[in-house]
Amino acid sequence: MFHGWENFFIMAGSSSAALIGLLFVAITVGTGFSPSGIVQGSRGFLTPTLIHFGRVLFQALVVLAPWASAKPIGIILGLDASAGVAYQIYIILMRQKIGFVLLGWDDLIPWVGLPVLCDASLIAGAVGLIAGKAFAPYAVAGSSALLLFLGIYGAWDLTLWMIKNRGKT
């Protein structure tokens, strides 16, 4: 079912793996922060961004594996989407608990709304894979691409946060 999609998923997976490595390099810039500052920044920006990149890599690995049929891919990606929804709920609750409030409604779109859209697209793709529908690869690819761009956005926010808070104790 993913015939012809190999290059897309190879590119998405290798891009996310490279960006994960660069994210670890970027976080070493933040070694001058106090421990509480590092914890807030990692909870607010780093961990969700790392999860986005990791999910793209995971999805690419699942899709590119030589499966006998598309059903196991659909089941695995459906579980990934369900875990993504659960993680998103956890992140929202955790941000409220530690008082990490996003500044405006426009921050809710990339940090809450679009990850939910990614998971909805992945759930639709997973169901489509299990049912053998032609739209399924497009839904999975859309989810992967959007997660990749959300990871880049998150890395940008992390960088701006580190610059703004550099030198604060």
Mean pLDDT by 10 residues, the chain (169 residues): 91 96 79 59 75 96 95 97 93 70 69 91 97 96 96 85 68
- Which run of H or of E encompasses 102? none
Please indicate, yes or no, if residue 102 is contained in any of the structural domains. yes
Please indicate, yes or no, if residue 59 is contained in any of the structural domains. yes
Please indicate, yes or no, if residue 33 is contained in any of the structural domains. yes
Please indicate, yes or no, if residue 1 is contained in any of the structural domains. no
Total of domains in the chain = 1
User: How confident is the model at residue 149, as a pLDDT?
Assistant: 95
User: How confident is the model at residue 160, as a pLDDT?
Assistant: 79
**Boundaries of domain holding 34:** 6-165
User: How confident is the model at residue 36, as a pLDDT?
Assistant: 59
